[in-house]
Amino acid sequence: MIKKTLMELIKNGGIMEDISGDSATEALTHIVSMLTLPQSLDKETLLKAILERESIMPTSIGNGIATPHPRNPLAAADSQEFVVIGFLKNPIDWQSLDNTPVTTVILIVSSSTKSHLHTLSRVHFFCQQEKFLKLLQNHAPKDEILETIACIEKEWK
């Protein structure tokens, strides 16, 4: 099985701007409401799974970024996996260990535990890269974000 690149996963999910909400729950509800999902996954199930995971421990990873995801894989097939980058209208207190309010949400939906861990580790790696962090902080255009990701992923090969 060939792992999808982060760029491919984001192309499947998209980049959203002006996500409204005054809490993590409201922001996540807004993101899920805007998604186009495969028939095998409904918005209510996805939102419930994401919020259940958040109730265990908030997914804020610092630097203004949260990486919400269901605890268990929900996509029915590898082809249905996706990552969404959502830029919030207003910063939200997401109970981050660095006390930085979240301005960017990176939602991960996978089809298997192995795929989920692979994607999560890639997202966390990118969130350590200065160039990528600046793009997120500046709510850069989609093309610029995807181009940067593609360049970094190309260096790995």
Residue 155 has pLDDT above 90, yes or no: no
Q: Domain-by-domain residue ranges, the chain?
A: 6-156
Residue 9 has pLDDT above 80, yes or no: yes
Quick one: how far is CA 91 from the chain centroid?
Answer: 16
Percent of the chain with pLDDT over 90: 90
10-47 burial, b if ≥16 CB within 10 A, otherwise e?
bebbbbbeebebeebeebbbbbbeebebeeebeeeebb
Amino acid sitting at position 7:
M
Tell which wins on pLDDT, 90 or 154.
90
Considering the domain 6-156, what is its CATH architecture? Answer: 3-Layer(aba) Sandwich (3.40)
The pLDDT tens digits for 104-127 are 999 999 999 999 999 999 999 999
What 8-state DSSP symbol labels residue 144? H
Interhelix angle 142-156/130-137, rounded to 10 degrees, is 170
What is the number of other CB atoms lying within 10 angstroms of the CB of residue 91? 12
Q: Which runs of E-coded beta strand occur in 1-157?
A: 14-19, 60-62, 65-66, 82-92, 102-109
Residue 139 has pLDDT above 80, yes or no: yes
For the entire predicted model, the pTM comes to: 0.95
Residues 6+ apart with CB under 8 A from 152: 126, 129, 132
The pLDDT tens digits for 50-102 are 999 999 999 999 999 999 999 999 999 999 999 999 999 999 999 998 999 99
